[in-house]
A and B are shown apart, each in its own frame.
Chain A
Amino acid sequence: MIANLGFGVLLITFFVTLYSALAASFSNPKAFAHLFRSISGARTESLANQLEKLDTPQRAASMVESARRAMLLTFPLLTLASLLLIYLLVNNRFEVQFVYEVTSRSMPTYLKVTAWWGGQAGSLLFWSWLMAAFASLVTLRKWDRDREFLPWVIFVSCFTLAFFVGMIAFYENPFKQFYQTATGVEAYFIQPANSVLFTPEDGQGLNPLLRHPGMIIHPPMLYLGFVSYVIPFAFAIAALITGRTDDRWIRITRRWSLWAWLFLTFGLVLGGRWAYDVLGWGGYWGWDPVEIAAFMPWLTGTAFLHSVMIQEKRGMLKHWNMLLIILTYDLVIFGTFLTRSGVLSSVHAFAQSAIGPLFFTYIAITLVASVALVIYRWGTLRAETEMHSLLSREALFLFNNLLFMSILVVCFWGVIYPLTSELFTGTTVTVGPAFYERANGPLFAALLFLMGIAPLSAWGHSTLQTLGRAAWKPTVLAVIVTVALFAFYTQNVYALIGFFLVAFVVLITLYEYWRGAQARQRSHSERLFAAFWNLTGRDRRRYGGYIVHLSIALMAIGVLGIELFQMETQGTLELNQQASLGGYDVVYEDIARFTGPDGREVTRAVVGIYQNGQYLGELYPRIDYYWDAQQAMTIPGQRATMKDDLYILLVNWEPASATGATFKIYVNPLVNWLWMGSLLFLTGIVIAAWPDKDPEREPVRAGKHVRQVSAAD
């Protein structure tokens, strides 16, 4: 009964979103009139006239209001549907197919709740719920200055929502139930004739690999990021349709874009952390198509984040910003599907379920329509000033866009290569992680370099001399650091280039921060710490950004360490025998096998860690075996320091065999800089996104009066 109610609610929601989208678009007949007028012909001319007559302010206002209320209605409706689903999940209602697939009796309640996003149907419902929430949130702001945007923002949000709810209601329905007919048991939307409800004894249970804190927050984080990007996209479309293509839409959605970016970044980092902790191959990123699908919108999102600053300050790169947000939106839809469909390394299986073609069609339609709009408004997006100097700030940001697009092209190429190679050569060829590393490596290095010099560049005009004057002290220091590393740490060329660039970024950023604080200290006669604090508070965007860049540099240290210097060894140890790696001595001390709290069988080893004869502690690598899912999980024992990570896996142990236990040991140098860096990243974004006292004040247009606080002055 509850499942049927849930299904009913979804159907109602679908029609409500459709109505909202239609009402919003028809509230502005003038826009359609305009469209018809651009098509020449007597029939379209008269149609346009009629439409324009319809466009009275009262009619428009009431239709928009109707659309807005319909959209607000979707949130309680979807909340109801979600609560119904959670009820079914928590109460072991295994006659519902989704509940059967992702829960089992032995799972604790909190995991049953989070199983909401543990399978495709449920996670699409979660996505829709978030979309409804954000669309509703956006209508709660004051719209006085932007009345004309409202109908189109509603239209785009509800169009997207209608697609997802439609997909859930008619294809990937979490409320499908099992019915037994003459031919057997299958899941149906509606009870077929001559059938009886079939309730399995127990569910399959969530794959144990997903029962990890990181994996519980990772999908919601990613989805928060994905869904948040729909709002800036909606405003971009609104801007294109209404012709208000100045930077108003950007300033309104600035915080949305920032939070979207924050969640997306964190979703990716958490995914990496989970892979590192749980998958047991000593790594955190495998260049899997699924990972790349979530990475691609991050790339365009980051480019967008930077590029909009140029539009705000100089009125340039407007075409870029439109295209970037459109790309981000479509990549978000692409990513949502790809990460949820269990797709093979070959993108072939994309078409396997019914929703593959649906997604493709939706992405194609939205992409074509959006780009058509951009082309239609191409003239209004003309830059307000011209770019003169190759090293000016705006040129460097353009270069930044190009770099991010290049990385995107590399990733996209790698993901669809199996398809294109088969299309053109007949054999399927894939590319592995080596491809991505080789192609992206130089591009990431270039990005790091840009991170270093861009803060030093000036609006309008910069030369090598001015940049050099600004940068030479930190650069010399960076060179010294690199030489020291060469002498004492490593001779690996790639590592040295990487570390040089990291030092370059860190030193320049800190130097800039320092000079700013010093200037403030002199002018306001504040103490140094107060100067730093107030400086940051005065220009949160800039200094939050600096902190974010610093954190990226720190994360780069972690990446360099683990990618270039990882050590590993494996072997069987008898009791009290030891293995050595990277300066650590690992002694196999004890092992035990017992049954854990939720029925899993745990095999837990105790190893002692020594370094230079000094006892450091114990680690407990173990293997958990889940009977219901018939799935083993290898949990490493980890000892984390900033210098490196000692990472030990228990590979195998049989009580019957007397020969000891098998271990695989990794030493991952510097990897914790990656995780620490991501925490600093969080701080930086929070600072950058922190509301100003005057939320939407006009930014200072550079060119008229510039208050530059950079060494390039």
Chain B
Amino acid sequence: MKINKFVIGGLLILGAVIFLIANATAGSAQYFMTVDEFNAKGPDVVDKNLRVSGAVIGDTIQYDPQTLTLIFEVAHVPADAPEIETEGGLAEALHQAVNDPTRSRMTVVYVGVKPDLLRHEAQAIVTGYLGADGNFYAEELLLKCPTRYEEAVPDQAGS
């Protein structure tokens, strides 16, 4: 069959693509967890590449412009869409997360430019690792605007 070499060629490409995807996924996968899950994991995830989402607690934001060190706390926000719906939507869920003293919290340490979108009740998605001291050392900070979840509000990445 004359088509043979094309089929072989196609399969080769398919194989190459599968290899590329598998390789890249393994190398850059990050567990995406909530603050609760993060605190629960404990020492298991020290030094592993993680991504955690939470609500920024405004009055814990400390920034030292000399050393460009940013420290703030995030409160647990549920990741489940139905759960967020029952709380009244994402903005409401963030609001509650921040005002609820019983919610678990996590301290984030980040060295770099303080993002413009970092403020009270903003949703933060931090990527980094758990340090031995229990703080989360973020290498990347993604923030979403607190009240405008419908629009294409851009997120800011700092890395």
A contacts, CB < 8 Å to B:
101-102, 118-120, 204, 207, 209-210, 219, 275, 279-281, 283, 286, 288, 290, 339-342, 344-346, 348-349, 351-353, 386-388, 390, 395, 398-399, 402-403, 406, 409-410, 413, 417-418, 427-432, 434-436, 438-439, 442-443, 570-572, 630-634, 649, 651-654, 659, 662, 664
Contacts and interface: CB of A to CB of B under 8 A. Distances in A.
A94 to B, nearest CB: 15
Nearest to A430: B32
B132 interface: no
Given A432-B28, A632-B116, A204 B147 contact: yes
A572 B65 contact: yes
18 contacts: A119-B151, A209-B154, A210-B151, A219-B152, A280-B116, A283-B157, A340-B152, A349-B90, A349-B149, A386-B2, A390-B5, A403-B13, A410-B20, A417-B25, A418-B32, A431-B30, A439-B23, A442-B20
A634 B114 CA distance: 10
Interface residues of B, number: 60
A219 B144 CA distance: 19
Nearest to A274: B154
A658 to B, nearest CB: 12
Interface in B1-55: 2-3, 5-6, 9-10, 13, 16-17, 20-21, 23-25, 27-33, 51, 53
Given A388-B2, A428-B33, A572-B66, A434 B24 contact: yes
Contacts of B61: none
B79 A431 contact: no
Given A649-B113, A662-B68, A402 B144 contact: no
Given A344-B53, A409-B17, 6 more contacts: A279-B154, A346-B79, A348-B80, A353-B150, A418-B32, A572-B65
Interface of B: 2-3, 5-6, 9-10, 13, 16-17, 20-21, 23-25, 27-33, 51, 53, 63, 65-66, 68, 79-81, 84-85, 89-90, 112-114, 116-117, 119, 123, 125, 127, 140, 142, 144-145, 147-159
A410 B17 contact: yes
Contacts of A659: 66
A275 B140 contact: no
A461 B158 CA distance: 51
In order of increasing CB-CB distance, the 4 nearest A-B pairs are: A439-B24, A438-B24, A434-B28, A652-B65
Contacts of B13: 399, 402-403, 406
A626 B30 CA distance: 35
Contacts of B51: 345, 430, 432
A439 B81 contact: no
Contacts of B142: 345
Nearest to A571: B68
B124 to A, nearest CB: 11
A430 B30 contact: yes
Contact of A633 (B20, B21, B65, B116): B116
A570 B154 contact: no
Nearest to B29: A429
Contacts of B6: 387, 390, 395, 398
A429 B30 CA distance: 5
- Name which of B17, B33, B51, B79 has the most chain A CB atoms within 10 A of its CB: B17
Given A352-B81, A443-B20, A120 B25 contact: no
